[in-house]
C-alpha cells in the first residue's frame, strides 16, 4: 500500500478485483464494470478550517490536498469507511453497529494480559482445561468444538445517541435499518453458526481463504437477525442493548473451529503465537497456542463495518 500525491491534478487510480481480472481474462467480450466502491479512510475531516482568513474557498483546502491511498489488489484489505448516498437531508445522526457486552453470554474476554476479544477453544482438551480451571472466567470464551455452552457474539444496530433515546414509541427509520449483513471470516480457522447452532451457508470463498456469509432477516429458516425492542412504557430497557438511541436489528453468531485447528498444530505454528492462562488452586499456568483474527461484519444498507477481534486457542 502507498499514498498518491493529491496536491495538484485530481488522480483516479483504479484496479480490478481478483474476480474482475478473472472475467477480463476470459476475453469473450462479456466483461463489464457493474459495481465499484468509494471510501474516505485516509481523510481527516478535522482539517476543515472554517476560520481560514483567506475565505470559504480555503476552508477544505487541506482536506483536498490530503494524499490518497493507492489502489491495491489485495481483496482481504478492504475499505473500512465506504461512502454512501442518502437522499434525505433531515438526518441528524447515522446508525452504527456496536458490540453488545451487557448480557452474560455476550461478554468479551479480559484478563491481566489481554482484553476485549473473544477466545475460541478448538478441541476437547482445550475446552476441558478451560472448564477445569478455577481461575478463568469463561465469559467471552466460545467453545468452538462444542458450541452449546450458550456464549455468542451479538452486534446491535441503531442510533447510539441519548438525545434520540429509545422510548417505547421511538423506532429507527426503515431506510436506516439493517436487514442484511455480510460476515467475512478466515475459512481456514472456523465457520459461522447461529445462536441455536445451525450452520450458515457460505456464499463464496475467495483466493485468500476469506469466506463471505450473506445473512438476511426472515429469508432462510436459520435466523441470525432479529428486531430489537426499545424501552417499554415504564422506561425499562427490555432489549438490554449497548445502544443509547432507537434500535434497529441485532445479529447473533457463534464460531465453530475447523478440523485443521482441532486436529493439528500446523496453522498455529505457521501463523500463531502463544499465551498462558491460569489453572487456579495454586497450580502453574497452562500454555496455549493462539491465532488472532477478526470477524468482519458489514451492514448491507448503510455499509457500516465493524471488526470483532477473535483469538483461537489450543492447549499445548
250 and 135 in a common domain: yes
Residue 271 · residue 259 · CB < 8 Å:
no
Q: Cell 459495481 appears where? A: 35
The model's pLDDT over 182-240, given as tens digits with 9 standing for 90+, comes to: 999 999 999 999 988 889 999 988 888 999 999 998 766 578 998 886 655 455 555 57
- pLDDT over 90 at 253, yes or no: yes
Is residue 103 assigned to a domain? yes
Cell, residue 239 = 432489549
Is residue 81 assigned to a domain? yes
- pLDDT over 70 at 169, yes or no: no
300 and 249 in a common domain: yes
- pLDDT over 70 at 98, yes or no: yes
Residue ending a domain, among 60, 85, 110, is 85
189 and 137 in a common domain: yes
The secondary structure of residue 20, as a DSSP letter, is: H
Beta-carbon contacts of 294 under 8 Å, excluding residues fewer than 6 positions away, are 185, 307, 308, 309, 310
Q: CA 134 → CA 109, 117, 196, 279, 289, distances in Å?
A: 16, 20, 28, 6, 20
Is residue 119 assigned to a domain? yes
pLDDT band with cut points at 50, 70 and 90 for residue 10: low
**Can you tell me the distance from the alpha carbon of 170 to that of 247, in angstroms, rounded to the nearest whole number?**
8
pLDDT of residue 180: 92
63 and 101 in a common domain: no
Mean pLDDT over each residue of the chain, to the nearest integer: 84
The proportion of the chain whose per-residue pLDDT surpasses 90, expressed as a percent, equals 38
Which structural domain, as residue segments, surrounds residue 8? 1-85
Is residue 76 assigned to a domain? yes
Residue 215 · residue 225 · CB < 8 Å:
yes
What mean pLDDT is predicted for residues 60-86? 75
Does residue 179 or residue 18 have the better pLDDT?
179
Q: CA 1 → CA 19, 36, 67, distances in Å?
A: 20, 19, 12
Residue ending a domain, among 57, 85, 113, is 85
Of the candidate ranges 117-121, 146-150, 201-205, the one whose mean pLDDT is the lowest: 146-150
125 and 65 in a common domain: no
Question: How many domains is the chain partitioned into structurally?
Answer: 2
Side-chain half-sphere CA neighbours of 271 within 13 A? 15
Q: Is 85 exposed, middle or buried (0-12, 13-18, 19+ CB in 10 A)?
A: exposed
Cell, residue 196 = 441455536
Is residue 80 assigned to a domain? yes
Residue 19 · residue 32 · CB < 8 Å:
no
Of the candidate ranges 20-24, 149-153, 247-251, 286-290, the one whose mean pLDDT is the lowest: 20-24
294 and 212 in a common domain: yes
125 and 68 in a common domain: no
Residue ending a domain, among 85, 118, 151, is 85
Is residue 116 assigned to a domain? yes
**Can you tell me the distance from the alpha carbon of 145 to that of 258, in angstroms, rounded to the nearest whole number?**
9
pLDDT of residue 258: 96
- pLDDT over 60 at 33, yes or no: yes
Is residue 203 assigned to a domain? yes
Is residue 91 assigned to a domain? no
Handedness of CA 72, 76, 77, 81 (dihedral sign): positive
pTM score, whole prediction: 0.81
106 and 6 in a common domain: no
Of the candidate ranges 129-138, 170-179, 247-256, 270-279, the one whose mean pLDDT is the lowest: 170-179
pLDDT band with cut points at 50, 70 and 90 for residue 8: low
DSSP string of 108-134? PB--SS--SBEEEE-SHHHHHHHHH-S
130 and 34 in a common domain: no
CA 177 to centroid of chain Cα atoms: 17
308 and 171 in a common domain: yes
178 and 274 in a common domain: yes
DSSP string of 249-263? EEEEEEEEE-HHHHH
208 and 156 in a common domain: yes
Amino acid at each position: 500500500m502507498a499514498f498518491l500525491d493529491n496536491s495538484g491534478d485530481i488522480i483516479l487510480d483504479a484496479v480490478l478485483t481478483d474476480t474482475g481480472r478473472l472475467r477480463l481474462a476470459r476475453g469473450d467480450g462479456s466483461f463489464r464494470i457493474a459495481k465499484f466502491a468509494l471510501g474516505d479512510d485516509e481523510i481527516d475531516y478535522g482539517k476543515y478550517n472554517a476560520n481560514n482568513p483567506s475565505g470559504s474557498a480555503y476552508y477544505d483546502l487541506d482536506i483536498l490536498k490530503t494524499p490518497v491511498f493507492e489502489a491495491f489488489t489485495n481483496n482481504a484489505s478492504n475499505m473500512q469507511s465506504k461512502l454512501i448516498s442518502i437522499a434525505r437531508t433531515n438526518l441528524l445522526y447515522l446508525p452504527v453497529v456496536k458490540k453488545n457486552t451487557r448480557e452474560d453470554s455476550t461478554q468479551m474476554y479480559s484478563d491481566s494480559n489481554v482484553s476485549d476479544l473473544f477466545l475460541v477453544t478448538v478441541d476437547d482438551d482445550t475446552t476441558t482445561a478451560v472448564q477445569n480451571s478455577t481461575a478463568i472466567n469463561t465469559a467471552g470464551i466460545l467453545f468452538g468444538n462444542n458450541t452449546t455452552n450458550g456464549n455468542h457474539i451479538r452486534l446491535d444496530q441503531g442510533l447510539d445517541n441519548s438525545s434520540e433515546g429509545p422510548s417505547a414509541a421511538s423506532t429507527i427509520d426503515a431506510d436506516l435499518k439493517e436487514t442484511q449483513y455480510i460476515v467475512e471470516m478466515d475459512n481456514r480457522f472456523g465457520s459461522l453458526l447461529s445462536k441455536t447452532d445451525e450452520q450458515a451457508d457460505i456464499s463464496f470463498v475467495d483466493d485468500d481463504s476469506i469466506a463471505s456469509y450473506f445473512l438476511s432477516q426472515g429469508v432462510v429458516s436459520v435466523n441470525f437477525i432479529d428486531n430489537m425492542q426499545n424501552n417499554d412504557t415504564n422506561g425499562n430497557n427490555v432489549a438490554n442493548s449497548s445502544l443509547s438511541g432507537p434500535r434497529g436489528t441485532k445479529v447473533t453468531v457463534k464460531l465453530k473451529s475447523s478440523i485443521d485447528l482441532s486436529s493439528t498444530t500446523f496453522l498455529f505454528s505457521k501463523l500463531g503465537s502463544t499465551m498462558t492462562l491460569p489453572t487456579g488452586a495454586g497450580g502453574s499456568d497452562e500454555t496455549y497456542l493462539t491465532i488472532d483474527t477478526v470477524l468482519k461484519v458489514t451492514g448491507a444498507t448503510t455499509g457500516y463495518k465493524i471488526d470483532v477481534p477473535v483469538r483461537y486457542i489450543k492447549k499445548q
